[in-house]
């Protein structure tokens, strides 16, 4: 818990440092446009845009040192025809799906767009409706269609490369984060970590000095030491008891963890594509599932017929979500393990 909190503080401080740097030192912005067999790089921070380099799209050459000094660490926007960026609606999703929205998009993106997921660059937009549900859409383009432009952009050592529609500048798709930005992020994290360690160390030292000064002014030091020793003995005994109880609990959880992973894997095979889980718990061979399905009534027979679960039943009534978004269900069942599952 402490380590997780420390990591969150570090990430937050690092992000603040990067934002501060972006205000102090604004990176230059460039546009990379394809015209016939040529790729033209222009500085877009000035008006009119100033041409920086012209490259053969099919055989990009090495970037000159003078150009590289200007483009290193900048932001490059690859301009593509607006028709090359497709926008598709993924439908209305429950508010609970926000935390795993990226997994939902990756699962459905190939079904709504004409390209393979590995060949797509995309960005997701989630609009929160009045009832809390999410209206999700995705904008995407094909990586192979702009391969030459991506290769050229990487040669300019940009900190960020994005795809922008020719007639719709608001349509921006992040393509990659350059080595310069990654190095800045690593440096910001190191600075944040050292700064937090320094602050915590100073805080501990201050507390230690204050405690020592307080004790040195106490007249009855011997009595206080005796009370502290007695208290430490009580804490040690409690710690020993807690450690023994905790080790038993950890051992039980350690044995259940691989089985829980196996059960999740089986559920991914048993449950239909129009069903997803929002909660899953497994303890002492008992499974509880909560989620949304287009046909919740069929789930109990599916679980019973899988030879991995028995005694499946709804432990709360099934409710219909508004807008025909499916049924919310809560099912509990006994998971068969070992030889039980093969009978």
Residue spans per domain, the chain: 2-89+136-183, 256-342
What are the tokens at 230? 């007695």
Gap between the Cα atoms of 11 and 182, Å rounded: 14
Cα 115–chain centre separation: 24
Instruction: Write the pLDDT tens digit of every residue in 274-325.
Output: 888 889 888 878 899 999 998 888 889 988 888 888 888 998 898 888 877 7
Gap between the Cα atoms of 185 and 14, Å rounded: 7
Residue whose tokens read 């990430």? 11
Instruction: Write the pLDDT tens digit of every residue in 203-230.
Output: 888 888 888 877 777 766 677 778 888 8
Judged by DSSP in three states, 291 sits in: strand
Average pLDDT value for residue range 323-332:
86
Contacts 24+ apart (CB under 8 A), 59-64: 60/148, 60/151, 60/152, 60/155, 62/155, 63/155, 63/156
Number of residues that make up the chain: 343
The answer to whether residue 341 scores a pLDDT higher than 60 is no
What are the tokens at 260? 């829980």
Q: How far is CA 193 from CA 19, 22, 32, 98, 180, in A?
A: 17, 20, 37, 30, 20
Q: Running DSSP on this structure, what letter comes out for residue 270?
A: H
Gap between the Cα atoms of 54 and 77, Å rounded: 15
Cα 50–chain centre separation: 38
pLDDT number for residue 249: 46
**Neighbour tally for 62: CB within 10 Å:** 8
Helices (H), 90-178: 101-112, 147-155
Please give the backbone phi and psi of residue 171, each rounded to the nearest 5 degrees, phi first: -85, 100
Q: How far is CA 323 from CA 51, 95, 249, in A?
A: 52, 13, 44
User: Are the CB atoms for 141 and 84 separated by under 8 Å?
Assistant: yes
User: Are the CB atoms for 212 and 224 separated by under 8 Å?
Assistant: no
Sign of CA dihedral 176, 180, 181, 183: positive
87 Cβ neighbours under 8 A, 6+ residues apart: 137, 138, 139, 171
User: Are the CB atoms for 288 and 278 separated by under 8 Å?
Assistant: no
Instruction: Write the pLDDT tens digit of every residue in 79-113.
Output: 998 888 999 988 888 888 888 888 888 888 888 88
Instruction: Write the pLDDT tens digit of every residue in 107-164.
Output: 888 888 888 988 899 988 888 988 889 999 999 999 888 888 888 888 888 888 899 9
Gap between the Cα atoms of 339 and 103, Å rounded: 33
Residue whose tokens read 């290769």? 151
Cα 313–chain centre separation: 34
The answer to whether residue 343 scores a pLDDT higher than 50 is no
pLDDT band at 181 (very low <50, low <70, confident <90, very high): low
Residue whose tokens read 């192979």? 144
Superfamily of domain 256-342: General secretion pathway protein M, EpsM (3.30.1360.100)
Residue whose tokens read 């446009």? 33
Please give the backbone phi and psi of residue 145, each rounded to the nearest 5 degrees, phi first: -70, -20
pLDDT number for residue 288: 92
Helices (H), 141-178: 147-155
Gap between the Cα atoms of 234 and 63, Å rounded: 71
């Amino acid at each position: 818990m402490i380590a997780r909190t420390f990591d969150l503080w570090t990430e937050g401080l690092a992000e603040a440092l990067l934002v501060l740097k972006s205000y102090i030192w604004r990176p230059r912005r460039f546009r990379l446009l394809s015209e016939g067999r040529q790729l033209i790089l222009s500085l877009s921070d000035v008006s009119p845009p100033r041409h920086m380099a012209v490259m053969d799209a099919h055989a990009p050459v090495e970037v000159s040192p003078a150009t590289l000094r200007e483009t290193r660490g900048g932001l490059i926007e690859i301009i593509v025809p607006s028709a090359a960026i497709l926008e598709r609606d993924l439908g209305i999703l429950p508010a609970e799906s926000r935390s795993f929205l990226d997994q939902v998009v990756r699962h459905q993106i190939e079904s709504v767009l004409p390209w393979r997921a590995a060949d797509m660059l995309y960005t997701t937009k989630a609009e929160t409706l009045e009832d809390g549900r999410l209206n999700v859409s995705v904008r995407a383009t094909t990586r192979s269609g702009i391969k030459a432009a991506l290769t050229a952009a990487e040669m300019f050592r940009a900190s960020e490369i994005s795809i922008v529609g020719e007639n719709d500048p608001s349509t921006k798709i992040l393509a990659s984060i350059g080595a310069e930005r990654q190095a800045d992020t690593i440096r910001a994290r190191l600075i944040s970590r050292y700064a937090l360690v320094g602050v915590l160390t100073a805080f501990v030292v201050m507390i230690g000095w204050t405690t020592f000064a307080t004790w040195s002014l106490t007249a009855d030091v011997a009595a206080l030491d005796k009370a502290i020793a007695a208290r430490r003995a009580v804490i040690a005994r409690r710690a020993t008891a807690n450690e023994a109880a905790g080790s038993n609990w950890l051992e039980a959880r350690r044995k259940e963890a691989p089985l829980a992973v196996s059960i999740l894997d089986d559920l991914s095979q048993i449950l239909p594509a129009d069903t997803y889980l929002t909660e899953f718990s497994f303890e002492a061979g008992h499974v509880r599932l909560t989620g949304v399905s287009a046909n919740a009534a069929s789930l109990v027979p599916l679980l019973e017929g899988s030879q991995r679960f028995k005694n499946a039943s709804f432990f709360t009534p099934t409710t219909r979500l508004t807008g025909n978004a499916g049924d919310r269900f809560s099912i509990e069942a006994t998971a068969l393990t070992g030889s039980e599952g093969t009978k």
